[in-house]
Amino acid sequence: LQREEPNYFGAGPAQLPTAVLQQAAKDLVNFKEIGIGAGEISHRSAPGVAIIDDTKAYLKKLWKVPDTHEVFFLQGGGTTGFSSVPTNLVASFVKKTGKVGKPAYVITGSWSKKAYEEAVRLGFDAQVVVNSKTIEGKFGDIPDVDQWKIPSADDTPFVYYCDNETVHGVEFREFPVDHFKGIEIVADMSSNFLSKPVDFSKYGLVFGGAQKNVGIAGVTIYIIKKSLLDHASDEELRKLNVPISPIAFDYPTVVSKDSAYNTIPTFNVHIIELVLEKLIENGGIDAQQEKNIKKSELLYSTLEKYPSVYHLPVTKRARSRMNVVFTIKDGSLDSEFLKEAAAAKLTGLKGHRSVGGMRASLYNAVSLHSVELLADFAEKFAEAHK
């Protein structure tokens, strides 16, 4: 179970700590010496329940999740969140106000755009707070809040945004919560989950797929304010023509069964448990954030040194610490860059097909050493082509 330490900058699924995978591989065969593997035990058996409970407890401890909030796991990926967020949060808004309201979306890249489109597709009367592409002509900035259309609290079940836009490399330093008094804030943190401290008291819901910073594909983690688990009845929702959540994605149902209403991929949750243990061992969230700042600053500052060679399309204030997006000004050099990088064992750098160029994803498990190797390579490449 050995491998050379990878220098892998793929956007997801992403690299995980080798030691975690080695332990997971052992546990896949024989979990805690019980004679069968972590993927073979029932999610309702004592060891299965312990995996779910311990993972929740580690996450609460590590990310300082307050008792006002509940943690639960779902299958289906981040995309399931695009559908389950409006159905569940509108059900709780109807319970509270008797009204359906208009879910509000802040669009700063392709993932928040997809979430908005899914709400519309399901039949919700969704409203756009801001769409940075409409203002700037492209995704690559977060417009000043005075350019946003702030919705009224009495008609808005939630305001949704994507904290880190994986494809466009746009990340919020802080969401302007003070402008949304009385409205529940929902954040997709799929690609910057556990990369920095979060004040959960400001959030109604934070969710994210596991496969970038915390695990492998197959599990999505939700951290929800407990008061939002109080829903209007299905009959009431039907009367108001509100789409009803499929049962496996109905948050109160899943929470009432401790994330095991249906078969949860126990092995995948166990990997999250191992990643969390490692993060705690390595000094916690503050230490991880410090490392992430260091890595991203090193890479951005190296690329900035060569403005004749590299173009950074995202404005400084909105640059992601997780996904560093850049292009080579002479686009004919793209394949040479990727080929030479691969020869230097630096992989996963090709940009998203919709954006082109390069993208270096610097998720939690990517070491500072890997980023130093990449910065060094980018520097040598630029010197040879400036």
Question: Please, are residues 126 and 116 in contact by the beta-carbon 8 Å criterion?
Answer: yes
- Residue placing its CB nearer to ligand PLP in the complex, 191 or 245: 191
Is 184 a binding residue for ligand PLP by CB under 6 A? The answer is: no
CB of 359 to ligand PLP, least distance (A): 11
Is 79 a binding residue for ligand PLP by CB under 6 A? The answer is: yes
- Number of residues located near ligand PLP, criterion CB under 6 A: 11
- Cα torsion angle, 170, 171, 176, 177, sign: positive
Contact residues for 279 (Cβ-Cβ < 8 A; gap 6+): 62, 194, 285, 288, 364
Q: Which residues are catalytic?
A: 111, 188, 212
- Residue placing its CB nearer to ligand PLP in the complex, 111 or 337: 111
Contact residues for 60 (Cβ-Cβ < 8 A; gap 6+): 71
- Residue placing its CB nearer to ligand PLP in the complex, 111 or 175: 111
Is 289 a binding residue for ligand PLP by CB under 6 A? The answer is: no
Query: Which one of 39-47, 75-83, 97-105, 275-283 is the stretch in contact with ligand PLP (CB under 6 A)?
Result: 75-83
Distance (Å, rounded) from C-alpha 26 to C-alpha 23?
A: 5
Is 361 a binding residue for ligand PLP by CB under 6 A? The answer is: no
Is 176 a binding residue for ligand PLP by CB under 6 A? The answer is: no
Distance (Å, rounded) from C-alpha 346 to C-alpha 338?
A: 9
Q: Among 32, 60, 58, which residue's Cα sits nearest to residue 45? A: 32
- Residue placing its CB nearer to ligand PLP in the complex, 157 or 169: 169
> Residues 209-228: x/- map of binding to ligand PLP (CB under 6 A)?
x-------------------
Question: Please, are residues 180 and 328 in contact by the beta-carbon 8 Å criterion?
Answer: no
Is 250 a binding residue for ligand PLP by CB under 6 A? The answer is: no
Is 171 a binding residue for ligand PLP by CB under 6 A? The answer is: no
Is 348 a binding residue for ligand PLP by CB under 6 A? The answer is: no
Is 162 a binding residue for ligand PLP by CB under 6 A? The answer is: yes
Choosing from 7, 83, 84, 190, the residue that interacts with ligand PLP (CB under 6 A) is 190
- Residue placing its CB nearer to ligand PLP in the complex, 190 or 370: 190
CB of 225 to ligand PLP, least distance (A): 20
CB of 326 to ligand PLP, least distance (A): 18
Choosing from 166, 259, 288, 292, the residue that interacts with ligand PLP (CB under 6 A) is 166
Query: Which one of 185-193, 197-205, 348-356, 366-374 is the stretch in contact with ligand PLP (CB under 6 A)?
Result: 185-193
Choosing from 141, 188, 250, 273, the residue that interacts with ligand PLP (CB under 6 A) is 188
Q: Residue 220 forms beta bridges with which residues?
A: 74, 209
Is 131 a binding residue for ligand PLP by CB under 6 A? The answer is: no
Distance (Å, rounded) from C-alpha 232 to C-alpha 97?
A: 10
Phi, psi of 187 (to 5 degrees): -125, 130
Contact residues for 340 (Cβ-Cβ < 8 A; gap 6+): 377, 381
Is 191 a binding residue for ligand PLP by CB under 6 A? The answer is: yes
Is 77 a binding residue for ligand PLP by CB under 6 A? The answer is: yes
Is 364 a binding residue for ligand PLP by CB under 6 A? The answer is: no
Is 13 a binding residue for ligand PLP by CB under 6 A? The answer is: no
| List of residues contacting ligand PLP (CB under 6 A) | 12, 77-79, 111, 162, 166, 188, 190-191, 209
